[in-house]
Structure 1
Amino acid sequence: MARTEYYGDPDAPEPSSLVVAASAAVTDEQGRILLRRRADNGLWALPGGGMEPTESLPEAAVREVKEETGLDVEITGLVGTYTDPRHVVACTGGEVRRQCNVCFAARIAGGEPALSEESTELRFVPPDELDELSLHHTQRMRIRHFLRGRSAPSLG
């Protein structure tokens, strides 16, 4: 499945669905951030994805991290909510979604790093090397909010 992300683009297709999603900013002992290279668009991103009808958002974040990276995580906090209607995602097959994402902070609780069909590469990235990677600016914003370590989550 291919994925094209639009942000504030007047030529973006009109959304046909709304997807509730969760992501996680996971760090290792050295404070490096876990990123995965998406198989669908080649961009680096925090692990995350859509919530299933039978789970909570924190459960979705934990499951998505496990599916995409092989790591078990424990949620430690809330980074923020990301619901900007200017962010539209077009997928193969004609689905055009508006995504509502809740990003959590998490720590590694076990597991071993492993690729999935959704990820072509995993990497723990030092914060000072983030600018060298291709990330959609909405991902960069979530990481920036996480690194600030604010006492209150970002709401948007």
Structure 2
Amino acid sequence: MGSRRDYYRDPNAPKANSLRPGASALVVDEAGRVLMQRRGDSGNWSLPGGVMEVGETLAGCAVRETREETGLEIEVTGLLGIYTDPEHVIAYSDGEVRQEFAVVYFGRVVGGEIAVSHESTEVRFIGLDELEGLPVHPTVRLRLEHHREGRALPWLG
């Protein structure tokens, strides 16, 4: 895929020319810590997730991406929210400029063991308080804040 650069609420951001549905999983352990991976491309901590493939459901995408990126098998247990902010675009080295289109599911671990993938440098469960001092993209912080709030209904944005 090559290199990528995130733009968020940046008036100098390139204009989006692509939409690709993606899914992420917000997985919490018994201690309330969130499963996070440190991205190899940006160094930011992020939820596991990626782009939906033909032939799978979006929830299935979240399960597959979590397995590929963390080594853990999960099941989807709910919906945190839908995130489609046109002010968040990701520019790729091949000229694609993708508008954010992410559905974030809640999930719980049903098997597997934590393992680092080629996309990340570290994978672990991290407490919300500890995450405040780590590099996390503002759009991921928003999702973590929605989780912290314990919202009764999914975010629709």
Confirm or deny a common fold (TM above 0.5): yes
1:39-58 aligned within 5 A: 39-58=40-59
Aligned to 1:124: 125
Q: Secondary structure at the match of 1:132?
A: coil
Amino acid at match of 1:5: D
| Per-residue Cα deviation, 1:26-67 (whole angstroms, up to 9, x for no partner) | 111111101101111111100000001211111000000000
Structure 2 unaligned residues grouped into runs of 5+: none
Aligned to 1:65: 66
Amino acid at match of 1:43: N
Aligned to 2:39: 38
Work out whether 1:12 is the aligned partner of 2:19. Answer: no
Aligned to 2:112: 111
8 Å CA contact 1:4, 1:91 repeated in 2: yes
How far apart are 1:94 and its partner, in Å?
Answer: 2.0
Q: Secondary structure at the match of 2:61?
A: helix
8 Å CA contact 2:114, 2:124 repeated in 1: no
How far apart are 1:93 and its partner, in Å?
Answer: 2.1
Structure 1 unaligned residues grouped into runs of 5+: none
Runs of 4+ in 1 over 2 A off after TM superposition: none
Aligned to 1:74: 75
Aligned to 1:89: 90
How far apart are 1:83 and its partner, in Å?
Answer: 0.4
Aligned partners of 2:145, 2:56: CA distance in 1, in Å?
Answer: 27
TM-score (norm 2): 0.96
TM-score (norm 1): 0.96
Paired residues in the alignment total 156
